Amino acid sequence: MIQLSIQNLTKRYKTGEGVTDISLDVQKGELVTLLGPSGCGKTTVLRSIGGFIDPDSGDIQIEGRSVRKLPPEKRPTAMVFQGYNLWPHMNVFNNLAFGLKIRKKSGKEIEAAVKRVLELVRLPGSEKKYPAELSGGQQQRVAVARAFLLEPAVLLLDEPFSALDAKLRHEMREELRDIQASTGLTMVFVTHDQEEALSISDKIVVMNAGRIEQMATPQEIYDHPRTLFAAQFIGKMNFIKGTAEGGRLQVGPLSYDNPEGLSGEAVIAVRPEDIVLTKPEEGLSAGIHQIMVLGHYAEVSLETPAGVLKAFIPRDKVPELRPGQLVGLTFSKVLAYRPA
């Protein structure tokens, strides 16, 4: 069932930035992430859904009903911002109860709802604390809890974890995914952090210059980026000049299938984990420049006639390698694109 439908949404600013003809559907219970660099239009889409921006054209429907003409407070949405936006002079209970009081809920209902939602975000018993007494991660949990209490049809999250340190960010992602699984809430999440998008999303919408480049599952986008931009933006990737002739892709002495039917110059894209080290006389010749051990694998920089390439090598193979050593390379998988 489609919970949120964005149809031909356009909003252009005087600066020339904005979005053009954006259409996407979000199913009930899905977590969909809008991913892209600054200025690509992802926040414009999110704020248009929430009613904070009035689009030039197009429609936004939630549960089959257009919300285009409704102000933010009348929409079945709730928003979690980058800043926590908690009232410093109110304790946690009053921060959470405020929206429910406006909705004329009884004291008993409010108390039960606040208790329930604090357990959900793993902050039971913190009702009497003030925001200044909480860590950044705890404050963000309270902000998420406040949004949940409004029981939105769609929860909107605008880079909610960007102010947190890496460890906390990781924990909050996991918690958000757990909460989403237990509540079945439909969420639209904005980030420029590709790792964040890959780790929490049911679907990723890759945006660039106000348009959608690709919309698919994280696995699909990682394994089969549809455009050169998506390939550049998602995960680490090596880009090599190659040629496409007669149904084959050529990179130096290496030859691969050409399923896209490209001809002439081509950009060959290879993930670091798809580079295979061989004997010096096999494949593309290379010299090891640098070895960086990163936990269970090592990132090896290789100097080749095609430029410097990065390879991810299992940790148990690292003792056999040293800087200056000559090796050969082949690729277990390649992608190919027309040059930009």
226 shares its domain with 245: no
Q: How far is CA 1 from CA 29, 56, 63, 241, 280, in A?
A: 9, 27, 9, 44, 56
The identity of residue 33, as a single letter, is: T
185 shares its domain with 138: yes
If you search the block for the tokens 């407070």, which residue do you land on?
73
Name the token pair of 86.
Answer: 């908690």
Separation of alpha carbons 281 and 279, rounded Å: 6
Q: Would you give the DSSP letter of residue 54? A: -
44 shares its domain with 191: yes
163 shares its domain with 60: yes
Separation of alpha carbons 199 and 170, rounded Å: 9
What is the average pLDDT across 290-317? 92
Of the candidates 250, 145, 147, 234, the residue with the CA atom closest to the CA atom of residue 198: 234
Residue 210 within a domain: yes
Out of 198, 230, 262, pick the residue that ends a domain. Answer: 230
303: helix, strand or coil: strand
The residue among 238 and 112 whose pLDDT is bigger is 238
Catalogue the E-assigned strands of 258-334: 264-270, 275-278, 284-294, 297-304, 307-314, 326-331
Residue 13 within a domain: yes
- The structure's pTM equals 0.87
What is the average pLDDT across 19-29? 96
Out of 230, 249, 277, pick the residue that ends a domain. Answer: 230
What are the tens digits of pLDDT across the range 75-126?
Answer: 999 988 876 678 889 899 989 888 787 777 888 888 888 888 888 778 888 8
Query: Domains in the chain: how many in total?
Result: 2
Assign residue 214 the CATH number of its domain. Answer: 3.40.50.300
* Residue 84 pLDDT: 67
Q: What is the 3-state secondary structure (H, E, C) of 235-273?
A: CCCEEEEEEEECCEEEECCEEEECCCCCCEEEEEEECHH
* Residue 113 pLDDT: 87
**What DSSP letter does each residue of 157-199 carry, written as one string?**
EESTTTTS-HHHHHHHHHHHHHHHHHH---EEEEES-HHHHHH
pLDDT over threshold 70, residue 146: yes
* Residue 243 pLDDT: 93
Name the token pair of 111.
Answer: 């108390």
223 shares its domain with 323: no
Q: Are strands 31-35 and 203-208 parallel, antiparallel or unpaired?
A: parallel
pLDDT bracket for residue 318 (50, 70, 90)? confident
The residue among 98 and 213 whose pLDDT is bigger is 213
* Residue 111 pLDDT: 87
77 shares its domain with 188: yes
226 shares its domain with 295: no
* Residue 229 pLDDT: 94
38 shares its domain with 116: yes
Residue 290 within a domain: yes
Q: Quote the mean pLDDT of the chain.
A: 90
Assign residue 306 the CATH number of its domain. Answer: 2.40.50.140
What is the average pLDDT across 40-62? 95
Q: For residue 60, what are the contacts with CB-CB under 8 A and spacing of at least 6?
A: 4, 5, 6, 7, 9, 48, 49, 66, 67, 68
79 shares its domain with 19: yes
203 shares its domain with 265: no
* Residue 304 pLDDT: 93
Geometric angle at alpha carbon 250, from 248 and 255, rounded to 5°:
70
Out of 230, 259, 283, pick the residue that ends a domain. Answer: 230
pLDDT over threshold 90, residue 315: no
Residue 258 within a domain: yes
260 shares its domain with 191: no
What are the tens digits of pLDDT across the range 157-211?
Answer: 998 888 777 887 888 888 888 888 888 899 999 998 898 999 999 999 999 999 9
Residue 235 within a domain: no
Look up the domain containing 60 and give its range. 2-230
Residue 298 within a domain: yes
Residue 100 within a domain: yes
145 shares its domain with 111: yes
Q: How many residues does the chain have?
A: 340
Residue 194 within a domain: yes
pLDDT over threshold 80, residue 73: yes
